[in-house]
A = this chain, B = another copy of it.
């Protein structure tokens, strides 16, 4: 593929104009939107407005005057179309971990037998497993029999056939980018009367998700990756309408109460998805996410998916067959439709290579023990950038530029 071909891709890209919504630093190719999405101009202006005018001048009255109180619901509504959810099923609140705890506990109230089994994948995102383990420990300490059963991806269907109570999976694997067949696995689980919780942290804003069509029961997802909500942005959760009338979750804080400002001493859950709120929402962080979501207006999840796969294919086409990149092993599925908006490569020098890339302005990340992870955010990346990023990677490897002492020191967060 020639440089001219690449330019043609950019010229024909229907999302190209969206790049201007983001404030990316000069000389940076940001292949890390899967970890922390970049700042949008909308978020910058919005938080300034929320702080200086709303908080600063209107103070407490802003809860009504500027609809702070409605943000968890309004942000949830904006996320809905990106994950295939009809209105009234998505709420923005807390973190992925806290939201997952609510949903796991809610799902457990419907368990089939005395001994509750949560089935998940061995290499699911660890925090999801820790939370499941935490809930199970709490029950076990109190004399309840419960179990977290972990299997490899290839043994999932067999384990589903053993009919656990809950299936907890992440749609796109954080290490490899491998994407699960949500339709098939959800249907299979339902055949065995299993409730399904999907973690969409690496899906929302990057690949098409059809929660309603797949009849998913519950889902959680992250606000700070492909949704560009800012560092530690609040997360979201989804509860299918059919489960909302008989839902019980233990993190029942006042914001999920039907009449929080009546200050009654007993809890009466609000109707609908709002009953999943717990404490007071973090308005500054949630406002940044709310504004960032405006960058998705007029774009379909299909368009996002198509572009991000095309970006990653351009990247691969530059690396594949290059003799200097032989030691760089693709661990993501080679077939595009089987992976999310990321490519992961293993390499024995993955850490110093990641550092050399970053120094050269190509921002990627490293995942222990030996993974180089690159995200292809479709909203702000151009085909030319991605091609250039691949060329820089090849140059760093072929010239051995990563063999430098200063690239070998591991920082705390990598």
Contacts and interface: CB of A to CB of B under 8 A. Distances in A.
A335 interface: no
Nearest to A32: B60
Interface in A201-254: 224, 230-235, 248-254
Contact of A232 (B109, B260, B281): B281
Contact of A250 (B55, B122, B138, B414): B138
Contact of A133 (B69, B109, B267, B414): B267
B52 A44 contact: yes
Contacts of A293: none
A286 to B, nearest CB: 7
A257 interface: yes
A123 B264 CA distance: 9
Interface string A365-377: 1011000000000
What interface size band does chain A fall in? 35 or more
A282 B282 contact: yes
Interface in A58-74: 59-64, 68-69
A363 B62 CA distance: 12
B251 A101 contact: yes
A17 interface: no
Given A39-B56, A130-B254, A232 B69 contact: no
B134 A252 contact: yes
A55 B39 contact: yes
B230 A368 contact: no
A278 interface: yes
B62 A251 contact: no
A279 B96 contact: yes
Contacts of A363: 59-61
A50 B414 CA distance: 20
Interface string A64-97: 1000110000000000000000000000001111
A47 interface: yes
Given A36-B59, A39-B55, A266-B133, A97 B253 contact: yes
A280 B232 contact: yes
Contacts of A142: 108, 139, 142, 144
A43 B39 contact: no
Contacts of A150: 265
A127 B261 contact: no
Contacts of A61: 358, 363
Nearest to A254: B127
Given A39-B55, A265-B150, A368-B262, A279 B97 contact: yes
Contacts of A51: 39, 43-44, 47-48, 230, 288
A159 interface: no
Given A47-B284, A266-B133, A97 B254 contact: yes
Contacts of A297: none
Contact of A98 (B234, B260, B278): B278
A30 interface: yes
Contact of A253 (B47, B95, B281): B95
B98 A137 contact: no
A126 B284 contact: no
Interface in A4-57: 23, 25, 28, 30, 32, 35-36, 38-39, 43-44, 47-48, 50-52, 55-57
The 5 closest A-B pairs by CB, nearest first: A95-B279, A97-B253, A127-B254, A97-B279, A231-B283
15 contacts: A47-B47, A68-B232, A122-B265, A126-B254, A126-B260, A129-B267, A130-B252, A130-B253, A130-B257, A142-B142, A230-B283, A232-B280, A232-B283, A232-B286, A285-B285
Given A38-B59, A122-B265, A134-B267, 18 more contacts: A25-B59, A36-B60, A38-B55, A43-B51, A47-B284, A63-B231, A95-B278, A98-B98, A105-B138, A126-B264, A127-B279, A129-B267, A142-B142, A142-B144, A230-B284, A234-B282, A263-B368, A284-B285
